[in-house]
Structure 1
Amino acid sequence: MMVNPQWLRSFAVLAERGNFTRTAEQLNLTQAAVSQHIRNLEHQYGSLLIRHHRHVELTPAGTALLEYFREVERASRALDARLNADQLEVGDISLVTPGSIGLALYPLLLDYQQAHPGLIIRHRFAPDSEVLEAVLSNRFEMGIVTFKPQDERIESQTFTEEPLELILPAAHPYAGFETLLELGFVDHPDGVGMATRLLSRRYPDTPGMRAIQAKGFSNQVGLILEPVSRGLGFTVLPRFARLAFHQQDKLQVVEGGNPVVDTLWLIYRSEWPLSSRASRVIERMQERLNANHR
């Protein structure tokens, strides 16, 4: 029996998002419509979800149905790549990335879409582990990660490089490690790890992050530099995150020592090549990044 594709899409998004409210928002449907789609599927296949107060959990039947959806998506994408390889300016472009490079790429993707209105751009911010899972499950054709996956199902190629930067308030005079002690650290989800990597190279004979007081925390990559710009502390971030901040004149980047530079990897499923339009978009994004940040 054929599964209604709209019902199946609602179920797959619900499995990803975890609750009905976020699912309805993503699909631009009412919660009642999403609930009806799930009821229709459960009428055919039995219980698919365990409903908790704030989230849902898949039953074994739900897991099987989700895998079926992903197989259909894989087949559809492979067919689309084969039949529409020459359609460079029409179709879906889907990319999932970590925050820093995403801040740099998303405006460029929108510029490209404006120039090619037949394209549909889907971009999602996610940490490395979720990027890999999203590509493996075929929810996104492409992803960018900060490590080279060791998985035979994944093809990877160098996308660009991105150094870590030591970022201070522009108005605060810099006089070495003592300045960092004085300012304190504005943390973020990867903050201590990034700062430890960079400061251990810059100041090898100091106690490093163990001696520095935390002065704040944000998990929103676009907001981490706001307290720094106000003189409330320093932080360490990848360069593209700093370049996306709207008040560059209120920041100073402290250079020196051996740089810490991460390679960013473009990943996609190894079973078939990227669509021609996806390859073209990636080439244009690399050209724009190189031109903008020389």
Structure 2
Amino acid sequence: MEVDQLRYFLRVAERGNFTRAAEELNISQPALSRSIQKLEEELGQPVFERKTRSVALTDAGTLLQSRAQQILALIEDTKAEISDDGRSGQIRIGAIPTIAPFFLPDLLRKFSTEFPAASIIVQEDTTDHLLKRCTQGEIDLAILALPVPAKYLEVEELFQEELLLVLPPNHPLVNKPQIRLNDIKALPFVLLDEAHCLSDNIVSFCRQRSFHPVAVEQTSQLAMVQELVSLSHGISMVPQMARKLDQSDRRVYRSMSGIKPVRKIAMVWNPYRFQSRLLQAFQERLRTYAREQDACPS
């Protein structure tokens, strides 16, 4: 049984399809099929139930999936621990799309200056996918918005940030000295789609105050939310970190009066995986950088 066989097996198990797995592994489908066939011959039974366009794990495959994940994690951790000098190496960071482009660039520049021999790979994805990757050891650290269903993962809150009301410049509320919840209850909202937790943060805040925002449009990009607001399709709420980078005069940002909508940003990691000194250094720089961003008292 070879390490590559286990990697190939896990990718097919995750994708449920030989063709997609082969494309991601950058090998031919016949080569992938032969590798899995040899694995099954060694085990003496099939690990996949073949269907017309997909595959499903057999009982043996389910057991092998758990063991293969443990074996590969042990190999990767052993390599990392042996080569850990605290200055070089690779860190794999994951972040949700409403954080990654606004929060990470300056932090990564500062860290790269201090640790020039370090390599940092950033993966942008939804919360559910990042938690899964963190659990499986595919990334070392995830930066997310709370709450998160982080079973077997360590979660540390970093800071809070305000969600600002964003309006088109000709909106009647722009010149109002104070904007309260009653002023926006009947207004149409532009929100991110359900895959993004920012919409959950906004809807949860509104529901706690006895109203449900009516979403007239949903999109997958925060930049598109801002553009649709500029075109008077509706109003929305945008994180403070995104507002800082928005230099356009086609949108107006206002802070709500009274209890303000906020979201809590946290880092998540797998405490059962080896934590390199380089990763620990990154966590410390992340904590320091986060304290500088915290404009909302906990």
TM-score (norm: length of structure 2): 0.74
SS in 2 for 1:258: coil
Q: Which residue of 2 aligns with 1:163?
A: 162
How far apart are residue 216 of structure 1 and its match? 1.0
Distance 1:271 1:199, change over 3 A: closer
Q: Which residue of 2 aligns with 1:252?
A: 252
Q: Which residue of 2 aligns with 1:139?
A: 138
User: After alignment, is 95-104 or 171-180 more displaced?
Assistant: 171-180
SS in 1 for 2:75: helix
Given that 1:142 and 1:266 are in contact with CA atoms closer than 8 Å, whether structure 2 keeps it comes out as: yes
Task: Tell me, in whole angstroms, the C-alpha distance in 2 between the residues paired with 1:162 and 1:132.
Answer: 22
Given that 1:187 and 1:217 are in contact with CA atoms closer than 8 Å, whether structure 2 keeps it comes out as: yes
Query: 5+ unaligned residues in a row in structure 1: which ranges?
Result: none
Q: Which residue of 1 aligns with 2:32?
A: 34
Task: Tell me, in whole angstroms, the C-alpha distance in 2 between the residues paired with 1:42 and 1:49.
Answer: 9
Task: Tell me, in whole angstroms, the C-alpha distance in 2 between the residues paired with 1:143 and 1:100.
Answer: 13
Distance 1:281 1:236, change over 3 A: same
TM-score (norm: length of structure 1): 0.75
How far apart are residue 113 of structure 1 and its match? 5.8
Task: Tell me, in whole angstroms, the C-alpha distance in 1 between the residues paired with 2:61 and 2:223.
Answer: 36
Q: Which residue of 1 aligns with 2:211?
A: 208
SS in 1 for 2:94: strand
Distance 1:192 1:113, change over 3 A: closer
Tell me the alpha carbon deviations over residues 117-148 of structure 1, each in whole angstroms, 9 at most, x when there is no partner: 65251524122x44333333323222234137
| Residue of 40, 43, 55 corresponding to 2:41 | 43
Matched, 1:126 2:156: no
Q: Which residue of 2 aligns with 1:62?
A: 61
Matched, 1:195 2:202: yes
Q: Which residue of 2 aligns with 1:279?
A: 280
User: After alignment, is 63-72 or 99-108 more displaced?
Assistant: 99-108
Task: Tell me, in whole angstroms, the C-alpha distance in 1 between the residues paired with 2:219 and 2:52.
Answer: 27
How far apart are residue 55 of structure 1 and its match? 4.3
How far apart are residue 287 of structure 1 and its match? 4.6
Counterpart of 1:40 in structure 2: which amino acid? K
Tell me the alpha carbon deviations over residues 264-284 of structure 1, each in whole angstroms, 9 at most, x when there is no partner: 232223346621111222333
Number of residue equivalences: 282
SS in 1 for 2:171: coil
Q: Which residue of 1 aligns with 2:232?
A: 231
How far apart are residue 102 of structure 1 and its match? 2.8
Q: Which residue of 1 aligns with 2:8?
A: 10
Tell me the alpha carbon deviations over residues 59-85 of structure 1, each in whole angstroms, 9 at most, x when there is no partner: 222222221221123323442453233
SS in 2 for 1:181: coil
How far apart are residue 154 of structure 1 and its match? 3.1
SS in 1 for 2:71: helix
Q: Which residue of 2 aligns with 1:82?
A: 81
Tell me the alpha carbon deviations over residues 34-91 of structure 1, each in whole angstroms, 9 at most, x when there is no partner: 344333333333322234555432222222222122112332344245323324222x
Tell me the alpha carbon deviations over residues 151-170 of structure 1, each in whole angstroms, 9 at most, x when there is no partner: 5x433323332333332234
Query: 5+ unaligned residues in a row in structure 2: which ranges?
Result: none
How far apart are residue 25 of structure 1 and its match? 4.1
Task: Tell me, in whole angstroms, the C-alpha distance in 1 between the residues paired with 2:29 and 2:192.
Answer: 37
Given that 2:161 and 2:262 are in contact with CA atoms closer than 8 Å, whether structure 1 keeps it comes out as: yes
Distance 1:7 1:106, change over 3 A: farther
Task: Tell me, in whole angstroms, the C-alpha distance in 1 between the residues paired with 2:21 and 2:122.
Answer: 16
Counterpart of 2:204 in structure 1: which amino acid? R
Matched, 1:268 2:269: yes
Given that 2:163 and 2:261 are in contact with CA atoms closer than 8 Å, whether structure 1 keeps it comes out as: yes
